[in-house]
Amino acid sequence: METSELRQKIDELIAAGECDAAARRLCELWRRDSGTAAASYVVARYEKLRGRVPLLPYRLAVLRSFTVEPLMPLLRAACFVAGVDLSVHVGEFNAYAQELLGPNSPLDEFEADAAVLAVQTRDVAPDLWRDFADLKADEREAIAVRVAGGFRDWVRAFRERSRAHLIIHTLEEPTAPSQSILDAQDAGGQAAVVRRINDELRRFAAEQSGVYVLDYDALVARHGRALWHDERKWLAARLPFAASSLSHAVAEWMRFIHPLTGKIAKALAVDLDNTLWGGVVGEDGLAGLRLGAEYPGAAYLELQRTLLDLQRRGILLCVCSKNNPEDALEALAKHPGMLLRPRHFAAVRVNWKDKADNLREIARELNIGTDALAFLDDNPFEREHVRAELPEVTVIELPDDPLRFAQAVRDCPVFERLSLSTEDRERGSYYVAERERANLGRRRPTREDFYRNLRQEAEVAPVTPLTLRRVAQLTQKTNQFNLTTRRYTEQQIEEMSERAGWHVLALGLRDRFGDNGLVGVAIVRECADAWEIDTFLLSCRVIGRTVETALLSDLTERARARGAKNIQGRFFPTKKNAPAVNFYPAHGFSLVEENEGGSLWALDLSGGGGVECPAWIRLTVVNGEQH
Amino acid sequence: MTQTTFERVRAIAADVLQVPAARITPRSSMDSIETWDSLQHLNLILALEQEFDVQFEPEEMERMNSIEHITATLESRQR
């Protein structure tokens, strides 16, 4: 079918109210043509389907120093096809710093789920870009420090006000360095300074939760710097892309949007003959298969290597093949060219049954939804069949040439993960839960739902020889949620814990994703009928999960049990501990005194006063020996 | 049957400018089509570049303010 006929068909389906069928055809159209014109068409038609097909609303802010507007139809079309209804706020040109610094910026009003910070080297560091030849070594160094520091300040300010995810583009290296080949001879050359700033960005993003780096420079390099740009578009419209680059830029953004919205595949089911190896094992026999380091078998080996990468990223691999089980299993286990072996596959279906039925079984066996499945098959009829039977399965479109199979899998954004840490997996599940709720009753999930969903179990116990090192380390390294920022050595912690009237408490936290280890420390001192909090801190990994309230509730409980009438604590502001600034007032403490150095807060414990542990945290209290 | 340049341009303009193809004639221009503002002009240029595999000069982009001018520019390129 011509795409013009397909468009006609789609419009007929929409007019007839056959929304699911129309959405499927729109996906088909987008697979065949993902240019600017098709994008406008897809967006306009999906807008007619809004409310009639399941779509997850998502809000993206784009903070930029250049023209991004032509990316937006492409981005929104790609999102619609993925089941996401994207609202976009595009910041004013070069207003990114003000927007991030806030407060009350348009960005704040927009209430983004995620923001992209896309700035160019020539805008954020014009001196580095334009006047590099005139710069002395120390000036180059100063620019790197200034630019990286700027990013850090913006992100920090933003993070204080917003939990939205933030995706930062790396700065682009110059296509033609000002010193030409000399630039490569110099560790402090123009490209090297840009790389240094990018390294800083990465380091800094890794320290923050929900801040990710999009390697824009690598993206441009991958597609070819000379082809990426069209100087005419830059000069005429401040658009740093050629028309052919737009879809590559959007595809890279989609690699982030998929995991952010939970539109990801947890398992990939693969066909065998002419997919995982060349040839048909039932006809060609084991010896006749094309698979190995040489062409043409190398194409299949490269695909296997790519699948192994996915498996190590936590994506389950499965076999879904029409074959005689004995032939296929023998090849899987014994072919000398195989990189993947039976142990790499979480489920295996080799039979002559319908592939859609096999996929349903695989999903049941793995205890995942069919919408969390992806399917890889060289046979276009099987792909079409699965698309028709199970439209929620991600069916990967394969080109005819096996040498391009591996790339087709790598291009698929449903296998992207933002990190493999506990925290980010939680976020993913939060968005999945949001989508499920959207399907059920369209109720917006509350923060409480999120906390409950985490199933947190906290344990507060006095420090022991086993936890001493970690407790000292937390006092030394914790900057953000740290009320007094007092640094202690292991020895000091040990001494304090042995001193009469002192309590050194450590908080361990488990949740549905596993053990977070020791993530909180409180040190308190008994003074007559008042207790004084010397140290109270929380690892940045668990900020924003109300764990601090659980720890504080335990302190007030211990104090009251030992007859204290009130509990006091100090807050010493630093450049970094803004996340803790409202801790005491938010828990009902009143201000006793305040000066430039800090503030003193107190909570009356007589008459039932105290702090309650949040209902969604199960708290276990361990009482050690008292001195 | 191969499409004429005008037909291909019309299909792209209909998508980008969100008007029915039947309403687009060679005389349609930035003045007569309301949605054809400067942003959509840039999108239209980019869509044409993708479809026809060309890169327009800044002078051409300015001149391509009506369907017949677009068609003429493309045809002069193809010769």
Q: Looking at the complex, does the CB of residue B42 fall below 8 Å from at least one CB of chain A?
A: yes
Q: Looking at the complex, does the CB of residue B74 fall below 8 Å from at least one CB of chain A?
A: no
Q: Is pLDDT above 70 for A608?
A: yes
Q: Does A242 sit within 8 Å of B16, measured CB to CB?
A: no
Task: Give the dihedral of Cα atoms A325, A330, A331, A337; nearest 10 deg.
Answer: 160
Average pLDDT over residues B43-61: 95
Q: What residues of chain B lie within 8 A of the CB of A36, using their CB? A: 16, 43, 46-47, 50
* DSSP alpha helix (H) spans, A441-510: 447-454, 468-477, 490-498
- At residue B2 the predicted structure's pLDDT band, cuts being 50, 70 and 90, is low
Q: Is pLDDT above 80 for A305?
A: yes
What ipTM does this complex have?
Answer: 0.95
> Which among A29, A51, A73 is the end of a domain?
A51
* DSSP alpha helix (H) spans, A52-136: 71-81, 96-101, 106-110, 121-124, 126-130
Q: Looking at the complex, does the CB of residue A244 fall below 8 Å from at least one CB of chain B?
A: yes
Measured in degrees and rounded to the nearest 5, phi and psi for residue B2 equal -85, 145
| Gap between the Cα atoms of A616 and A383, Å rounded | 44
Q: Are residues A255 and A106 in the same domain?
A: yes
Choose among A4, A70, A239: nearest Cβ to B11: A4
Q: Looking at the complex, does the CB of residue A37 fall below 8 Å from at least one CB of chain B?
A: yes
Tell me the pTM.
0.72
| Gap between the Cα atoms of A145 and A19, Å rounded | 54
- At residue A147 the predicted structure's pLDDT band, cuts being 50, 70 and 90, is very high
Residue with tokens 């998508």: B15
- Residue A218 is predicted with a pLDDT of 97
Task: Give the dihedral of Cα atoms A532, A538, A542, A544; nearest 10 deg.
Answer: 50
Contact in structure between A514 and A574 (CB atoms under 8 Å): no
Fill in the amino acid letter for A449: D
Q: How many CB pairs under 8 A join A and B?
A: 54
Q: What residues of chain B lie within 8 A of the CB of A246, using their CB? A: 46
- Residue A300 is predicted with a pLDDT of 97
Q: Is pLDDT above 60 for A422?
A: no
Q: Is pLDDT above 70 for A424?
A: no
What is the CATH classification number for the domain harbouring A508?
A: 3.40.630.30
Instruction: Please state, for a pLDDT cut of 70, what percent of chain A lies above it.
Output: 95
What is the CATH classification number for the domain harbouring A403?
A: 3.40.50.1000
Residue with tokens 């658009």: A239
Q: Which region among A16-30, A160-174, A564-578, B35-49 has the lowest average model confidence (pLDDT)? A: A564-578
In terms of pLDDT, which residue wins out, A207 or A420?
A207
Q: Is residue A212 part of a domain?
A: yes
Q: Is residue A77 part of a domain?
A: yes
Contact in structure between A461 and A622 (CB atoms under 8 Å): yes
Contacts of A78 (CB under 8 A, 6+ apart): A30, A34, A39, A250, A251, A254
Q: Does A35 sit within 8 Å of B47, measured CB to CB?
A: yes
CATH of domain B5-78: 1.10.1200.10
- Residue A437 is predicted with a pLDDT of 43
| Gap between the Cα atoms of A319 and A461, Å rounded | 48
Fill in the amino acid letter for A59: R
Q: What residues of chain B lie within 8 A of the CB of A45, using their CB? A: none
Choose among B15, B43, B61: nearest Cβ to A70: B43
Q: Does A44 sit within 8 Å of B18, measured CB to CB?
A: yes
User: What six digits make up the tokens of B56?
Assistant: 């327009």
- At residue A423 the predicted structure's pLDDT band, cuts being 50, 70 and 90, is very low
Q: Does B57 sit within 8 Å of A232, measured CB to CB?
A: yes
| Gap between the Cα atoms of A460 and A514, Å rounded | 17
Q: Is pLDDT above 50 for A433?
A: no
| Gap between the Cα atoms of A236 and B61, Å rounded | 9
Q: Are residues A204 and A246 in the same domain?
A: yes
Q: Looking at the complex, does the CB of residue A104 fall below 8 Å from at least one CB of chain B?
A: no
Cis check for the bond before A106: say yes or no (omega within 30 of 0): no
Q: Looking at the complex, does the CB of residue B47 fall below 8 Å from at least one CB of chain A?
A: yes
- At residue A434 the predicted structure's pLDDT band, cuts being 50, 70 and 90, is very low
Q: Over the stretch A337-347, which tens digit does the pLDDT of each residue have?
A: 999 998 889 88
Contacts of A96 (CB under 8 A, 6+ apart): A63, A64, A65, A117, A119, A154
In terms of pLDDT, which residue wins out, A199 or A515?
A199
Contact in structure between A107 and A115 (CB atoms under 8 Å): yes
Average pLDDT value for chain A: 90
- At residue A517 the predicted structure's pLDDT band, cuts being 50, 70 and 90, is confident
Average pLDDT over residues B51-65: 93
**Which uninterrupted H or E stretch holds A619?**
strand A617-621
- Residues of the domain holding A600: 455-621
| Gap between the Cα atoms of A75 and A535, Å rounded | 48
The total number of structural domains that make up chain A: 4
Q: Are residues A191 and A73 in the same domain?
A: yes
Q: Over the stretch A231-280, which tens digit does the pLDDT of each residue have?
A: 999 999 999 999 999 999 999 999 999 999 999 998 999 999 999 999 99
Q: What residues of chain A lie within 8 A of the CB of B15, using their CB? A: 37-38, 40-41
Q: Are residues A189 and A272 in the same domain?
A: no
- Residue B79 is predicted with a pLDDT of 67
Measured in degrees and rounded to the nearest 5, phi and psi for residue A57 equal -70, 140
Q: Is pLDDT above 50 for A190?
A: yes
First to last CA, chain A: 83
Q: Which region among A476-480, A520-524, B24-28 has the lowest average model confidence (pLDDT)? A: A476-480
Q: Are residues A391 and A475 in the same domain?
A: no
Q: Looking at the complex, does the CB of residue A230 fall below 8 Å from at least one CB of chain B?
A: yes
- At residue A103 the predicted structure's pLDDT band, cuts being 50, 70 and 90, is confident
Q: What angle do CA A36, A33, B70 make, to 5 degrees?
A: 45
Q: Which region among A34-48, A136-150, A407-421, B64-78 has the lowest average model confidence (pLDDT)? A: A407-421
Contact in structure between A199 and A148 (CB atoms under 8 Å): no
In terms of pLDDT, which residue wins out, A87 or A578?
A87
Determine the length of chain B. Answer: 79
Q: Which residue of B has its CA nearest to A11?
A: B20
Q: Is pLDDT above 90 for A431?
A: no
Choose among B15, B50, B58: nearest Cβ to A235: B58
- Residue A545 is predicted with a pLDDT of 84
Q: Looking at the complex, does the CB of residue A492 fall below 8 Å from at least one CB of chain B?
A: no
| Gap between the Cα atoms of A49 and A310, Å rounded | 34
Q: Are residues A150 and A183 in the same domain?
A: yes
First to last CA, chain B: 21
Among B40, B43, B46, B74, the strongest candidate for a mutation testing the A interface, having the largest count of A CBs within 10 A, is: B46
Average pLDDT over residues A354-360: 96
- Residue A444 is predicted with a pLDDT of 55
Choose among A36, A232, A237: nearest Cβ to B50: A36
Q: Is pLDDT above 70 for A303?
A: yes
Q: Which residue of A has its CA nearest to B20?
A: A41
Q: Is residue A92 part of a domain?
A: yes
